[in-house]
């Protein structure tokens, strides 16, 4: 599975990258929004994982642009606040998965498994 990781801080990015590589995913990491879009335009990805807390990131605008580039990409957001907040604010934004912190190996593995299945559905639909 081809995964694009987007986070403004290297510590969480490095940990995620190590776990995803260990479960046989091909991972690319970026720390800036424009780098993220450049990667999405130049390569084929099944899943984009990004952090809700990236300074200056407009989540809805970001997800809309990801969808514009490729509608079949699954989008997962790493989050911290109560689920009701995300339900109300981003329920219709195009985010497919929420990954609640703190999470570890098992949660990341589950996300990848679910994203594989969902990605197939999205590809068929598009």
Partner 1 sequence: MSLLHTYIKSYRRNSSDRRSGKDRRSERDRRSGWGKKEDELLHGALAATASIVYQFSRPFTIILGYVDLLLATTREEHTREKLVIIKTQLKIISDILDSFREVDDFKTIDFDGVDILDTNKLLEVETDEKDRRIL
Site of interaction with partner 1 (CB under 8 A) = 9, 11-12, 15-16, 18-19, 22, 53, 76, 78, 80-84, 86-88, 90-92, 94-108, 110-111, 114
The helix (run of H) or strand (run of E) holding residue 5 is strand 2-6
Instruction: Provide the minimum distance between the beta carbon of 98 and partner 1 in the complex, in angstroms, as a whole number.
Output: 5
Decide if 23 contacts 108 (C-beta within 8 A).
yes
> Is the four-CA dihedral 31, 36, 38, 40 of positive or negative sign?
positive
Q: Could you identify the residue written with the tokens 């985010």?
A: 95
Tokens of 67: 């969808």
The residue (of 43 and 85) whose beta carbon lies closer to partner 1 is 85
Instruction: Provide the minimum distance between the beta carbon of 91 and partner 1 in the complex, in angstroms, as a whole number.
Output: 5
The residue (of 12 and 28) whose beta carbon lies closer to partner 1 is 12
């Amino acid at each position: 599975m081809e995964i694009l990781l987007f986070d403004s801080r290297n510590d969480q990015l490095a940990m995620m990258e190590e776990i995803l590589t260990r479960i046989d995913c091909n991972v690319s990491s970026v720390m800036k929004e424009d780098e993220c879009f450049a990667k999405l335009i130049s390569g084929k990805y099944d899943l984009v994982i990004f952090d809700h807390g990236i300074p200056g990131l407009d989540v809805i605008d970001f997800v809309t642009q990801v969808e514009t580039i490729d509608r079949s990409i699954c989008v997962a957001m790493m989050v911290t606040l109560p689920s009701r907040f995300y339900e109300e604010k981003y329920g219709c934004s195009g985010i497919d998965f929420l990954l609640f912190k703190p999470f570890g190996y098992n949660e990341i593995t589950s996300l990848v498994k679910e994203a594989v299945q969902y990605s197939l559905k999205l590809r068929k639909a598009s």
